[in-house]
């Protein structure tokens, strides 16, 4: 009887010990969670801080001009009247131009590198393309200003005008500097980014997906079309967003070739113009405290908002593509 009681309490002790083992709090996990949370908060803080600085410092022009800051085309420190319509237009115009040309070109080059290029050449080309991405933007700007703009002025734009002048895009006086030059330079600058990202994501297409198509007698192109691109499209889109972000914000190279004139928004690619970034770069040196400085900072705020909106739209697009890819049950096998 007593022996039974002893063994019972022993069993209880063992159970308590077991409970203690399972309840041990491990500090490592807690610590790690805290650290990563801190990092995220730092990033969020930076974004919020940027937004706060931009908003608070542009309050004078926001109060003074309100919405007309967006629709006014004059940026005139002499009369202290400011508007950034030409710059908003120029930013969107040159970035759209760059995307329209860089996406198909970049995708095509990436497909060639992944599927058609002879193996030894593949690494050399990939290396050169990554190198292209590493060239400082001021060098692109110099090339644009010293080589591209004169050529456009003397040969490129007159030719376009002569042959395609009936399009509003190629109407107007050839100037050399302008949307066309800026668009071309931006295209060149974002091209390596799009190629690199597309190439990386296409390379990791599961072999099983490629072979599924190959085993059905598909051609190389059909394998790319039906196995590689559906798999890679989300990643490619991610690369395009990165590229768009770079095109919207690119400052140095664009400033050097866009002409920096606050012209009426015009469809003509020959028009010299402004982008939000080039307004800031051009005017910042002379800015005096007051409305002038506030106007420059508000231009930055608008650029910040445009970037934010395009990124949100892009995230949303990516999420919807991913939902579609994963199907109703979610997750791939």
Q: Which residues bind other proteins (CB under 8 A)?
A: 119, 206, 208-219, 222, 226-227, 230-231, 324-329, 331-333
Pick between residue 49 and residue 206 the one whose CB is nearest to other proteins: 206
Q: Are 114 and 203 in contact (CB under 8 A)?
A: yes
Distance CA 298, CA 293 (A): 9
The least distance separating other proteins from the CB of residue 313, rounded to whole angstroms, comes to 22
Maximum Cα interatomic distance, the chain, rounded to a whole number of Å: 112
Pick between residue 132 and residue 218 the one whose CB is nearest to other proteins: 218
Pick between residue 56 and residue 326 the one whose CB is nearest to other proteins: 326
The least distance separating other proteins from the CB of residue 327, rounded to whole angstroms, comes to 3
The least distance separating other proteins from the CB of residue 286, rounded to whole angstroms, comes to 54
The least distance separating other proteins from the CB of residue 128, rounded to whole angstroms, comes to 22
* Residue 128 main-chain phi, psi, to 5 deg: -65, -40
Pick between residue 102 and residue 237 the one whose CB is nearest to other proteins: 237
Q: Are 177 and 149 in contact (CB under 8 A)?
A: yes
Distance CA 48, CA 57 (A): 14
The least distance separating other proteins from the CB of residue 130, rounded to whole angstroms, comes to 21
β-partners of residue 81 are 76
β-partners of residue 273 are 259
CB atoms near residue 243 (< 10 Å): 26
Pick between residue 64 and residue 220 the one whose CB is nearest to other proteins: 220
Pick between residue 209 and residue 282 the one whose CB is nearest to other proteins: 209
The least distance separating other proteins from the CB of residue 329, rounded to whole angstroms, comes to 5
Structure tokens at 122: 């593949």
With tokens 């949370």, the residue in question is 37
What end-to-end distance do the CA atoms of the chain give, in Å?
Answer: 59
């Amino acid at each position: 009887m007593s022996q039974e009681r002893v063994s019972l309490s022993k069993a209880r002790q063992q159970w308590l010990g077991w409970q203690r083992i399972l309840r041990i709090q491990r500090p490592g996990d807690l610590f790690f969670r805290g650290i990563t949370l801190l990092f995220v908060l730092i990033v969020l803080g930076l974004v919020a801080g940027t937004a706060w600085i931009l908003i608070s410092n542009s309050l004078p022009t926001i109060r003074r001009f309100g919405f007309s800051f967006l629709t006014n085309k004059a940026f005139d420190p002499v009369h202290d009247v400011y508007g950034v319509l030409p710059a908003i237009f120029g930013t969107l115009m040159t970035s759209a131009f760059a995307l329209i040309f860089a996406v198909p070109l970049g995708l095509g080059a990436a497909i060639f590198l992944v599927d058609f290029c002879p193996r030894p050449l593949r690494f050399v080309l990939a290396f050169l393309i990554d190198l292209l991405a590493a060239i400082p933007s001021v060098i692109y700007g110099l090339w644009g200003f010293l080589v591209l703009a004169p050529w456009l002025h003397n040969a490129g734009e007159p030719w376009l005008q002569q042959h395609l002048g009936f399009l509003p895009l190629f109407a107007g006086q050839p100037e050399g500097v302008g949307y066309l030059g800026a668009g071309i330079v931006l295209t060149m600058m974002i091209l390596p980014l799009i190629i690199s990202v597309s190439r990386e994501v296409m390379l990791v297409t599961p072999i099983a997906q490629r072979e599924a198509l190959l085993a059905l007698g598909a051609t190389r192109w059909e394998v790319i079309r039906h196995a590689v691109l559906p798999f890679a499209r989300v990643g490619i889109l991610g690369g395009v967003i990165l590229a768009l972000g770079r095109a919207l914000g690119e400052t140095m190279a664009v400033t050097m070739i866009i002409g920096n004139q606050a012209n009426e928004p015009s469809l003509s690619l020959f028009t010299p113009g402004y982008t939000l970034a080039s307004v800031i770069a051009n005017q910042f040196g002379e800015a005096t405290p007051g409305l002038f400085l506030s106007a420059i900072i508000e231009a930055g705020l608008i650029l910040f908002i445009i970037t934010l909106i395009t990124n949100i739209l892009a995230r949303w697009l990516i999420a919807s593509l991913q939902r579609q890819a994963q199907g109703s049950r979610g997750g791939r096998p």
